[in-house]
Amino acid sequence: MKVLLLGTAAGGGFPQWNCACRMCEAGLPARTQDCIAISADGTGWYLVNASPDIRTQILSTPALAAGPGPRDTPLRGALLTDAELDHSLGLTMLREGAGLSVWAPAAVLHALRTDFPLQEIVSRYGAWNWRPAAGNFEIDGLTVTVFPISDKKPKYVQSTVDGPWVVAYKISDPSGGAVVYAPCLKTWPEGFDELIADASCVILDGTFYSPDEMSGATNKGVGSGAQRAMGHIPIAGPEGSLAQIARHPGKRWIYTHLNNTNPILDPESKEYKEVLAAGAQAPFDGTVITV
């Protein structure tokens, strides 16, 4: 199984267009907004989330290039972890892709019909297939396991339907390889240890390094205390994900969805060196992983 890290930054990308924090002014390599692509055979590909940067991400990735026919594409569809605009707006850029299938939790599909009618918008350009993601299902030889994370709704949602609104996916191939993709974790949820037990690679929420980094002096207080409401487990600290990673040696751990304030965006920072020492990484956009 192949996994492409198409984008590794949180909403707004890095640097963020309206931010003058220390990190955004540091001249570090840019990152686009978080999403990945997976393939069982390197021929047909499925997006997991579709960021607003998807056009740039596809055009910069040879494996996703159009052809051989004038309208052929290796993209077969997408899976959505949630209804956030950062993870779904890219579908509008793929509106010409008639025949694409999209899997998402039932609550997410509802939001994309009613609160933000993305389904209707893209379906006017061609036939799309919208399918609920729950339990286990198969796509082109890959087994997808849906793991509910939380009921955190996007700000635009007025719907009162039951969640889950946020999920993680474990994707397994017939050879026994498995990857877990969990770009949004409020905490280390019950049952998550069991989900990742047989996964060789875990792509994990790395939004913030510390619990209060957005309000810190080094980032000029850009968050004004709003960070905790965003629902992302920090990397560092006794309640952070690095402490959990230490209990699971032998896996490849990758941080994604990095906020523009996160010091591990700098490969030379002491914070990133701590991440590396713990056995995790934060690779750049375009990284290819073989599972």
Q: What is the pLDDT of residues 57-76, one digit of tens each?
A: 999 999 999 999 988 999 99
**Structure confidence at residue 270 (pLDDT):** 97
Q: Please give the average per-residue pLDDT across 223-237, as a whole number.
A: 75
**Structure confidence at residue 191 (pLDDT):** 97
Contacts of 37 (CB under 8 A, 6+ apart): 3, 4, 6, 45, 46, 47, 48, 61, 63, 64, 75
Which single residue is written with the structure tokens 């009162």? Answer: 160
pLDDT digits (tens, 9 = 90+) for 161-217: 999 999 999 999 999 999 999 999 999 999 999 999 999 999 999 999 998 888 764
* Total domains, the chain: 1
Quick one: which H or E segment has residue 59? helix 54-59
**Structure confidence at residue 217 (pLDDT):** 46
pLDDT digits (tens, 9 = 90+) for 13-65: 999 999 999 999 999 999 999 999 999 999 999 999 999 999 999 999 999 99
Domain with residue 218: its CATH number is 3.60.15.10
* Predicted structure pTM score: 0.95
Contacts of 241 (CB under 8 A, 6+ apart): 185, 188, 204, 205, 206, 233, 234, 235
Whether 252 shows a pLDDT value over 80: the answer reads yes
- Give the β-pairing of 35-39 and 280-281: unpaired
Domain assignment of residue 179, given as a range: 2-290
Q: What are phi and psi of 118, to 5 degrees?
A: -65, -35
Token pair of 62 as six digits: 């040879």
Token pair of 205 as six digits: 């929420």
